[in-house]
Amino acid sequence: MYQHDVASIIVQIVRSAPEWLTTAQLAHAIGVSDSSVKRWVDGGRIRAARTAGGHRRIPLAEAVRYIRSTGRAVTRPGALGLVASASPDDAGQTLGAHLLAGRAAEARGLLETLFLTGSSAAEIADGPLRRAMARAGRRWREHPAGVFEEHRATEIAISGMIRVRALLAPAPDAPVALGGAPSGDPYVLPSLAAAATVEDSGMQAVSLGPGTPLETIALGAASLRPKLVWLSITAAPNPRLLRRQTLRLAEEVRRLGAVLIVGGAALERLDLPPAAALHAGRSMSELHAFARGILLAAGASARGAA
């Protein structure tokens, strides 16, 4: 597996994704009148900005927040730039077909639509995305062009999860989470999915990406003072060394008053013992629940201090 050029992917996604919606676009997407959306904006139910001419403009992330929090159906996904409908029953199979065929727009649209219609980032990662990537990972055994198709599928999946993450807008004062994948682990997608999962929980995620020395993660934790540190381990060329480094990181994280959660396909190779402030996770849904618990505890502490 090769290192993915994440920076170039992010540039492409940011350039292509719509950042602002008119009230008419949002109204068309959810099947209501333009005047209804204007009334919701003016009443404070939807946050919006004003152009120099006084026209309302709604950030895409705010439109997503409103749709998800109210449970409104997106009847016309095309109005939001989405190009695929999502069926939870066969989303993994459909996504896998799009990825292997190189249908990037359809794959990204399916991921965005799943998120927009109520699936959490963790549910997407644990469900359709996991099944689709497992299918892509088997492809090299089944077809001469399988390696090419797997690499292309991975790039498309990365771009799709970047789009999903771009729809999230944690509060500026939300607690910080920090993480990445260790040295020797070149896989982008698992840690990217972890960052999206953490932000979907309501925390601010600072992802250091793949191939990050654990010493660097420790330095970042000392600087940012996160409440949660995640470590995604998909490859472990030297599991004994990584085990020692992970336990050392857990101790440093504990001294900072945070918690280290470790997960990934190679987690079992480390055979981590029980340790303070160290939690072994088995899914993105578990990471989401863990992050939500930290947020609830932080909120209760703040209310008690007040």
Q: What pLDDT does 221 receive?
A: 97
Claim to verify: residue 63 and residue 92 sit in the same structural domain = no
For residues 266 and 210, membership in a common domain is answered with yes
Does some domain include residue 140?
Answer: yes
pLDDT at 36: 95
CA nearest 159: which of 201, 214, 99?
99
User: For position 301, what pLDDT does the model report?
Assistant: 59
pLDDT of 3: 41
Question: How much is the pTM?
Answer: 0.82
Examine residue 171 and state whether it is found in any structural domain, yes or no. Answer: no
Whether residues 23 and 103 fall in one domain: no
3-state SS, residue 100: helix
CATH number, domain at 234? 3.40.50.280
In a domain, 119, yes or no: yes
Query: And the tokens for 168?
Result: 């999230």
Separation CA 138–CA 136 (nearest Å) = 5
Does residue 56 sit within a domain? Answer: yes
Query: Which pLDDT value is given to residue 73?
Result: 79
pLDDT of res. 12: 40
> Where a domain ends, among 127, 147, 166?
166
How far CA 191 is from CA of 22, 125, 262, 265, in Å, comes to 34, 11, 11, 12
Q: Domain check: are 218 and 105 in the same one?
A: no
User: How confident is the model over 164-177, as pLDDT tens digits?
Assistant: 998 887 888 899 99
What does the pLDDT read at residue 14? Answer: 37
Q: For strands 228-232 and 259-263, give the pairing.
A: parallel
User: Which pLDDT score, from 0 to 100, does residue 196 have?
Assistant: 97
| 78 lies in some domain | no
- Parts of the chain with a pLDDT under 50: 1-17
Count of structural domains, the chain? 3
pLDDT at 255: 96
Q: Are residues 219 and 300 in the same domain?
A: yes
Domain that residue 103 falls in? 6-13+83-166
Residues 152 and 50 in one domain: no
Residues 162 and 189 in one domain: no
pLDDT for 5 equals: 45
Cβ proximity of 227 and 293 under 8 Å: no
Query: 184 and 146 share a domain?
Result: no
Same domain, 91 and 146: yes
Q: Does residue 269 belong to any structural domain of this protein?
A: yes
Phi, psi of 21 (to 5 degrees): -120, 145
pLDDT at 13: 37
Residue 266 within a domain: yes
Query: Six-digit token pair at 44?
Result: 């404070």
| DSSP labels, 223-274 | HH--SEEEEE-S--SSHHHHHHHHHHHHHHHHHTT-EEEEESTTGGGG-PPP
Q: What is the pLDDT of residue 148?
A: 93
**Nearest-CA neighbor of 218 among 195, 175, 258, 252?**
252
Q: Is there a single domain that holds both residue 183 and residue 301? A: yes
